[in-house]
Structure 1
Amino acid sequence: MSAPAPTEPAAPRGTAGTDAAPPGPGAPLGAAQERRRPWLVAAVALAVIAAVLVSVARGLYRDGPLEPDAPTGQGAKAVVQVLGDLGVEVETRRHTADAAEDLRAGGTVLLTAPKRLSGEQLTMLAEAREEGGGRLIVLRPDFVALSYLASGIIPTGALREQTRVEAGAACGDLSHGARVLEVPDAEDALDGPASLYTATDAGASTCFEAEGGALVAESDGVLVLGSPDLLTNDGVGRADNSALALNALSASEELTWYVPSATDPQGTSSPSLVDHLPGWIGPVAAWLVLAAALALIALGRRPGPVVVEPLPVTVRPQELVLGRARLLQQ
């Protein structure tokens, strides 16, 4: 009698009694995808945040104070549009050299923010106006700016309450067709309370007198307006503000609208670069730091929960024999 043929070890079976399928190629691919997923999510999130920040920055820059295309209350789109209807070509400048070149050519330049300019920039504008005989309109200059641009005028007061100021009989052409001007109180004003000025030279003149000085002054081709709210979308419709704004700015067929910019290469001296930065830089920087922190937290998370396994592990001899047999079978 022959011996029975040896039988092969049975293949391992699953828990449900079916043959256990070998791990397919999809398992490592799925693990790789799981590892890449946090990076993809973080990249998409950062791209979306960057796009939103760029859009917000552009919108804030366009809608800034006294921006000629800004439809907001602090913008000046209304005045610029009416000037265009009157045949005045308005050109926006953001660098001192460009505005000085227009003054040197005999043009009219509106300086919207004289306090943001350094002494070097103010000197450049003053020299260009003297050389070319251009006309300079300045909004609410302080003592320092006037010392460069119009030394015959000094600030002597302020209007902190909402005030209506009438033109006197001696104003003449300096009233620019306006009879009453109205300025808001300090809390609602664009750049603080309206400033009042006094003429110190015989060649200087003032108009719209109030207690402490005048709201409008002129000296040697430099027109000083004590409040930027006379030109804003919110303020130009009050009293006769529109008459003053339009008549003063439409004296020539071309007008340079000078809005100082932090990118001006001439603006490297006092005030510092921080003073030139727009107001939205701080919130945007804080938001970027927060977004970076959230991205680092997302990238630092593990693909799954931590598995706790007690060590050392005791392996029974029977399991070791079966494991070796299965390896030999494969």
Structure 2
Amino acid sequence: PEDRSYKRSENFHLLFYLLCINVFQLERRNLQLHASTVIELTLTSADDRPEYATLQAVLFGPFLLAGLTTGDWDAKAGGAAVSEWITPVPASYNSQLVTLTQESGGSTLVLSLLSTAKATSLTMQPRPEGGGTDAAVHATFRLVPQGQGAPPMGERRHTTNGTAATATPASALIEPFDMPGMAITNNLTLSAEKGPSSLFNVVPGLDGAPGSVSLELAARPGCFLVTAGAKANVQGGCGGGTGFSPQAASFIRAEPLRRYHPISFAAKGARRGFLLEPLFTLRDEFYTVYFNFGA
């Protein structure tokens, strides 16, 4: 079928299937996970028919790795070694994860990325309960600091009309949790490019609330991510403009709804990056265990 993503209900059937077939090993490489630990990754195929030769699963020792995705499974190996296509996620990256929230009508909303093959949109969604869902994945981002000597968050000044005062900002890339190597651009699209149009200046919240932050578009100084309520698309709005609300441009940095598993890998895809984790750790997320290396 076209959609190769699964949910928890298929886990047991898939594992049973994999245990009952003869797994044919196609390639094996050594990969350095930590400085003192050498681990082995194996690409495997569950079907030796030629028409399925490009469909591969990834084993990390005894663990079958699953990529978080809702349909895309095209890999981008380009004939490179496994260690060049897939790399371990450092544990330190957990400290850069965040969920951005707002209070609205007595409920908590979270900034979420909804991405399909046709479109990408940032919206505010009701805060999900627990972390083992797609909603939790989509509401978790990695803020990747950029540049040297950026001041601590909270040092930058802002004016009461919602426009930022001139000062050196703390810049960051906003990377979706399940798409390592990708970044949200100032046009609110996804891109693997890391240019100025993918930078956001993380500044103290324009609403003046303690601990809040606002996200200024680096390519459009004085313009920020602005929300419009539950399930509405987030847009770019400029301070001082008609109807601009400092509260709508301010977020609370909450604990991330999702964190990297100790065994996590980032893999390159034809159109996006993939986050790979052991299949048994997933609860109710969409995933694929097969990748198409013939894309």
Query: TM-score normalized by structure 1?
Result: 0.24
Higher RCO (Cα < 8 Å, 6 or more apart): 2
